[in-house]
Structure 1
Amino acid sequence: MAHGNDTPRLSRRGFVSAVGLGTAAALAGSVVGSESAYAVSADEARQRVVVIGGGIAGLATAWLLDGHHDVTVLESAPSLGGHVASVPVETSDGRRAIVDLGAQFFGAQSHPIYHKLVTSVLQVPTVANRFDNTVTRYGEQTPVMVTPGADRPITDVLPYLPALQAVAELMDRARELEANRDWGVTVTDLVEAMTVEDALKQSLVYPYVASVNGATVSQVKDFSARAALALGVRPLVGEGTEQTTDYVNARDGLQSVISAMAGELTGVTTLVNTQAVGLTRSGQVYQVTDSRGQVHLADQVVFALPPESAVPLVSQLPQAGRLTQIYGRFRYMPGRIVIHEDPVYMPALTADWSSFNITHDDDYAEASISYGRLRGDIDVFKSWALHRREEPKRLLAAQDFRHPMITPDFIRAQGDLQGLNGKDGLWFAGSHVVDVDSQESALYSALTIGNALAPESANRTRLGVLPTTPVTP
């Protein structure tokens, strides 16, 4: 390492940028206004709306339409929430908390509309997070990178200065993509254009980006770089030494948000353990048949479920060819997340432990979140564990997921799907419909429908003037 005046310099902003990228593992544009190109005439009769899917997008759609239309929500799972998976855990010392297996992080900067809904409208309690990062190679004791943290001053991480500079450059380039709204640059395009040595690209940069997207190194190379890095740069607020990451968690898990919203419904029928299996149309009316054999008549149908689950339904419609072709361009990959009590995936030395810890193992780069460092309320770990060599010895919970592979064509498919939104009474909602996979994008898609079908509903009025969101088509 260079000494004296020859020592490479990294600004405080650069250090915080390096820390900020890890927050994405876990999420300037225009506002969703009260007017819409799809708006239904104000004097149009009350309509029957069937929402297929009870995740945050489907539930928010029902919540926004409540009181204006007759809404039925069909959810195949035993409970509402979709990718929200909050589970109660208890450690061996008797401490208890509710942790999220699925979606978890949000903030006023990265998720401004969702943050307003949760904290101001629903008034769900939140807890602050603190972020730092460690990257290691499997089987090696010395990390590839360790970032500063609340109890780790900058001077302690100077040996990792080249790695920190590499991540800072990565984040600066990600900011440029955000500013230019550029989805077309792939991760490979971005990383190969960086000025850092190739060895750092292979040992740090590619694994780093892969880990925060739940992907392998080979998979993430084809991702849109803006999509892959958006949830790392968007939560950064402030400048210089005051820059911080504004992510929070729902104190009692994101299921508390789902419960709060569902608890406010007054005129919506929600059916869980009830899958939509049939879809036909007679004249202007749709017939949605559920797994119990009941037929639901609908003037408007909202697909608020992942593309892979929507295809069997849309394939029954006359316009199936176009819809299934678009849906086929939304590619997904498997993921597995576990909650455990033993630190099996943490760095070898406790001094190197961070809230977000990445292990690079050949083509795999999976992260482990330490709740003790992240929130300080319980000593458990949340880990991506699809390709790990060992299983946790004290496993508390586990769940499989399907994560989106957000390539440039994934983004183009979003535009094509939005072009069909509202046509023939069919609507599309979900985190895949616009922008990157987040609670904000899911809510934004619901607002598009709510603003069209019930722009003056009581719940839309409660949201008031919406903050500017980075989630815009």
Structure 2
Amino acid sequence: MRVAIAGAGMAGLAAAWLLEESHDVLLLEERKTPGGNLRTFFPPDPVHVPEAVELGVRAVPSGPHSLVARLSGALGLDRGQWLPLPSGRLLLSDRGEADGSRCTASPFAPVRREEAVRAAALLAEQAHHWKNERLGWEVPLREMVEDFDLPRRVKEVAVYSLPAATFGCTLEQAGLLSARAVGELWAEDPAAPAPVSCRLRGGMHSLAQHLVSRSSRVQLALGTALRMVHRHGGKPELTDTNGRRYRVDALVLAVPADEAARILSPHFGPLRARLASYAYRPLLYQVHRDACHMPVDRDTWAPSTVTVHGPWAETTDWYPTKNGDLFVSQVTHRKPRPRTPLASAGFRTVQPTPGMLKAQRELLRSQGDGGIFLAGHVTTPVNTLENALGSAIAVARQLAPRSRRLAQLLDDT
């Protein structure tokens, strides 16, 4: 079979690697560099070996049975390449004291540190129950948080700040997201040890580089995107941005929903209509040395700080390096921004609303119709690296069920 894949993020790269054993694979990527949300920055250091700083995917859950761990092993990355990350989160109301007691212009009343810790723990515990009890995906977060035994001001700030920062929406809009989808990111079993996250020693982007190097039979076209998809004889016919045309047996769209809808011809009307239910919000990150978004008292610094300012919540991750402190901050809505940023990266994050998740179920029921497959965050409730890999595996199950690589990833899972 001739298979085309649009998008060389984690889902597209993994799908190409899984399918190349059995099929002739063409992988198109609009950017000049593959990897999607895997974006690693190495700050200049004239004395020491530069340390990787992540602008995109920061970490993945540790554990030998995760799909990411299995993939990294299949690519020759041993467990020693994965570094555990320190845990800890601090909530601030603007740049004030560590307990958020400083008065600010925010319409939301500040909360004490103890209240914020309790709220985060309660969200993690309740999310675990939602997952175990199979709470419906279309139940909004606000409906579930209303039952939390917390003061309203604590709910508005300490509970909603976490999804607001993650999905780039306001505190109020966070309550309209799917409770189950939000809970997938924070669910913790209170009776089990706290989960540990890890990152690759050489940077998360090296995972994409390994996938490319191990996919020698894939035709990778960087700087080239799809412009239009038609049907010809019941199969997809593609035109890329360079004017080239391809007739393929199957097309895997591992791109954002609005991009997929834009390139599909009107013949794919029902598919385009479902993709229109997806909404995105921008996120801008910067690497910097300016401690402007950290607490005044250094003794209270944590690996991750969530700052509530006005209706927004944004994060700053702290990287203590041999050459001084580095920070990665969300600066989409912050003013002023850090002085002299070292690097910047913009992303768009999908909003897991009940409407989006309903459309997603309909899309999955039509997976493969007319040779069109979807992969990546369009097919998963929450956009994580583990889910992106799972979406590629789902496509490979249909297109290459006897793949040895597929069997390697699914062994004992």
TM superposition score normalised by structure 2: 0.90
Task: Summarize the Cα distance change of 1:348–1:49 in structure 2 as closer, same or farther, 3 Å threshold.
Answer: same
- For 1:97, what is the secondary structure of its paired residue? coil
**CA contact 1:289–1:295 (8 Å) conserved in 2:** yes
Q: Is the 8 A contact 1:108 1:116 kept in 2?
A: no
Given the superposition, is the C-alpha separation of residues 197 and 404 from structure 1 closer, same or farther in structure 2, using an over 3 Å criterion?
same
Q: Which amino acid aligns with 2:369?
A: K
Q: Secondary structure at the match of 1:248?
A: strand
Maintained 8 Å contact 1:206/1:217: yes
For 1:325-364, what aligned pairs fall within 5 Å after superposition?
A: 325-364=273-312
Match of 2:11 among 57, 64, 67: 57
Unaligned 5+ segments in structure 2 are 102-111
**Counterpart check, 1:68 vs 2:18:** no
1:451 aligned onto 2:397:
yes
Are 2:52 and 1:98 equivalent residues in the alignment?
yes
Q: How does 1:54-453 map to 2 (within 5 A)?
A: 54-90=8-44, 96-108=50-62, 112-119=66-73, 121-123=75-77, 125-144=81-100, 160-182=113-135, 183-233=137-187, 239=192, 243-314=193-264, 316-318=265-267, 320-372=268-320, 379-453=325-399
- Displacement of 1:437 in angstroms is 0.7
Give the CA deviation at 1:142: 3.9
2:91 maps to a residue whose letter is V
Indicate the SS of the match to 2:51.
strand
CA contact (8 A) 2:61 2:197 kept: yes
How big is the shift at 1:93? 7.1
What SS class does the counterpart of residue 277 from structure 2 fall into?
Answer: coil
Report the number of matched residues: 400
Query: Residue 280 of structure 2 contacts residue 348 of structure 2 at CA under 8 Å; is this kept in 1?
Result: yes
SS in 2 for 1:395: coil
Deviation by residue 1:359-397 (Cα, 9 ceiling, x = unmatched): 11110110100122xx98973111111011111113111
Distance 1:198 1:229 in 2: 19
Distance 1:212 1:284, change over 3 A: closer
Deviation string 1:416-462 (CA, Å, 9 cap, x unpaired) is: 11011011111010123122111111111111111111122232233
| Cα distance between partner residues in 2 of 1:181 and 1:105 | 26
After TM superposition, the runs of 4+ consecutive aligned structure 1 residues lying more than 4 A away are 91-95, 375-378
Root mean square deviation, CA, Å: 2.3
For the 8 Å contact 2:157–2:171, the answer to whether it is kept is no
- Contact 1:209–1:229 (CA<8 Å) still a contact in 2? no
Contact residue 41 and residue 52 of structure 2 kept, 8 A: yes
Within a 5 Å distance, the mapping from 1:19-30 to structure 2 comes to: none
In structure 2, the CA distance between the partners of 1:226 and 1:285, relative to structure 1 (3 Å rule), is closer
Structure 1 distance, partners of 2:42, 2:124, is 35
Q: Mark the CA change 1:118 to 1:385 in structure 2 (over 3 Å): closer, same or farther.
A: same
Give 1:286 deviation, angstroms: 2.5
